[in-house]
Amino acid sequence: MPSGLVYVVGTADTKGAELRYLADIVSKAGAAARVVDVGTGSSHDDADVTSATVASHHPNGAEAVFGAADRGGAVTAMADAFARYVTGLGDIDAIVGIGGGGGTSIITAGMRALPIGVPKLMVSTLAAGDVSPFVGVSDITMMYSVADIAGLNRITRTVLANAGEAAAGMARRRTVDNDDARPAIGLTMFGVTTACVTDVVARLSDSFDGVVFHATGSGGRAMEKLTDSGMLAGIIDATTTEIADEIVGGVLSAGPDRLGAVIRSGVPYVGSVGAVDMVNFWAADTVPEKFRDRLLHRHNANVTLMRTTAKENRAIGRWIAEKLNQCRSEVRLLLPEKGVSALDAEGQPFFDPEADAVLFGALEAHLQHTPHRTVQRLPHHINDPEFSAALAETFRSIAGVRQP
């Protein structure tokens, strides 16, 4: 008997033989296969789910796909329809897609709409380049097709066979031991705040399942997505450096919706200003000309950090405060007076108490203080154990869980 159901997705009008081959591999590997056609040309009735069926899930009906003025419009409309189609499925154990540019765009739109944990494998001609537009902050695995997916040959058979076996294996073994009764909470961390966040996770491990996100833009977006989905019961946002990149123009911004999920979800929030002393760029020669005379620190060959100024810190503090003012949940903001990162400590290159003081002052001035929303300065460095202890105990207090 097959174990697990794999949705095998592609454009049957251009890749019918490849889809049938891939589905056959999945079946031989012990899982059930359901072929879904997302082509924008003629509909193929030999698919288990026809493109007409998928297209009918568009808010404006199938005509929005098949009546589009050009291929770009049709692809965009089919991507919308496919995302709506897959989110209505209750029996999907894994999904594997094959495609070029258009197919990859359509199929990954649906994959991104699926919950974290549903196995997602995309075989694509674009997988050797920048795949961030297709992956987003989802757990999509991209596999490079090597050769174009334009017929079956010794290369495409090999790659598709590996993909089919992998998808079937993930579908069969999807059960993961997630019987942890502890609620999951999100925490943000950077290399320069690792000591702080690692200690917080350890201090709360008796009561909470800590999920740490690397604050590199995608990490913040992933945490926000999981918060919106209800998978996180609270946030300890110790490292808000992505906001500095958003305000100043660095390369690791999480976008203007950072903290938006906290506002929407109402989860308890304990925050700080970890690594707000820095803006991130890639290698030194990529730093914009307007910043070349600033205080720069070579983190490694590929990453260059720039110290934020008092003026920038004032803007960052106000931005954070105005976001948190919109929260209906319990909000606590803790400020480490002796430095906000490992580089912002006495004797380190970014140590600047005056700039930090401006940041703290802006937060205090613009945060609307209520019994449920407070800001507090602490006489510690962010990586001091006293500060991580304060973060942990503050979260316990607003989450309703006390030290056993």
Whether the CB-CB separation of 388 and 199 falls below 8 Å is answered with yes
- Is pLDDT above 60 for 246? yes
Does some domain include residue 404?
Answer: no
pLDDT (0 to 100) of residue 44: 67
For residue 291, the 8-state DSSP code is: G
Does some domain include residue 177?
Answer: no
Average pLDDT over residues 173-194: 86
Domain endpoint, select from 137, 172, 207 = 172
Number of compact structural domains in the chain: 2
- Is pLDDT above 70 for 148? yes
Whether the CB-CB separation of 283 and 313 falls below 8 Å is answered with no
Same domain assignment for residues 206 and 313: yes
Question: What Å distances lie between residue 260 and 182, 186, 322, CA to CA?
Answer: 25, 14, 11
Same domain assignment for residues 28 and 118: yes
CATH number at 378 reads: 3.40.50.12030
Torsion of the alpha carbons at 139, 145, 148 and 152, rounded to the nearest 10: -120
- Is pLDDT above 50 for 220? yes
Same domain assignment for residues 188 and 150: no
Same domain assignment for residues 158 and 271: no
Same domain assignment for residues 312 and 248: yes
Does some domain include residue 178?
Answer: no
pLDDT (0 to 100) of residue 177: 60
pLDDT (0 to 100) of residue 46: 83
Average pLDDT over residues 88-109: 97
* Contacts for 170-175: CB closer than 8 Å, 24+ residues apart: 170/93, 170/94, 170/119, 170/121, 171/3, 171/4, 171/5, 171/6, 171/31, 171/93, 171/94, 171/119, 172/3, 172/4, 172/30, 172/31, 172/93, 174/4, 174/93, 174/94, 174/117, 174/119
Same domain assignment for residues 85 and 228: no
Tokens representing residue 394 in the block: 């503050």
Where in the sequence is the domain holding 287, given as residue range(s)?
184-399
Please report, in angstroms and rounded to a whole number, the separation of the first and last CA atoms in the chain: 48
For residue 378, the 8-state DSSP code is: E
Same domain assignment for residues 215 and 156: no
- Is pLDDT above 60 for 120? yes
Same domain assignment for residues 131 and 259: no
In single-letter form, the type of residue at position 197 comes to V
Does some domain include residue 179?
Answer: no
Q: Which of 76, 114, 73, 72 is nearest to 92 (CA)?
A: 114
Domain endpoint, select from 121, 137, 172 = 172
Same domain assignment for residues 20 and 89: yes
Whether the CB-CB separation of 127 and 142 falls below 8 Å is answered with yes
- Is pLDDT above 70 for 176? no
DSSP conformation letters of 23-92: HHHHHHTTSEEEEEE--SSS--TTSSB-HHHHHTTSTT-THHHHT-SSHHHHHHHHHHHHHHHHHT-S--
Same domain assignment for residues 10 and 127: yes
Average pLDDT over residues 206-229: 96
pLDDT (0 to 100) of residue 253: 98
pLDDT (0 to 100) of residue 1: 65
> Which pLDDT band, with edges at 50, 70 and 90, does 372 fall under?
very high
Please give the model's pTM, rounded to 2 decimal places: 0.89
CATH number at 98 reads: 3.40.50.12020
pLDDT (0 to 100) of residue 403: 42
Q: What angle do CA 62, 63, 68 make, to 5 degrees?
A: 120
Domain endpoint, select from 142, 172, 202 = 172
Share the mean pLDDT of the chain. 95
Same domain assignment for residues 167 and 217: no
Average pLDDT over residues 312-341: 98
Does some domain include residue 166?
Answer: yes
CA distance 286 to 289: 9
Same domain assignment for residues 105 and 253: no
Report percent pLDDT > 70 for the chain. Answer: 97
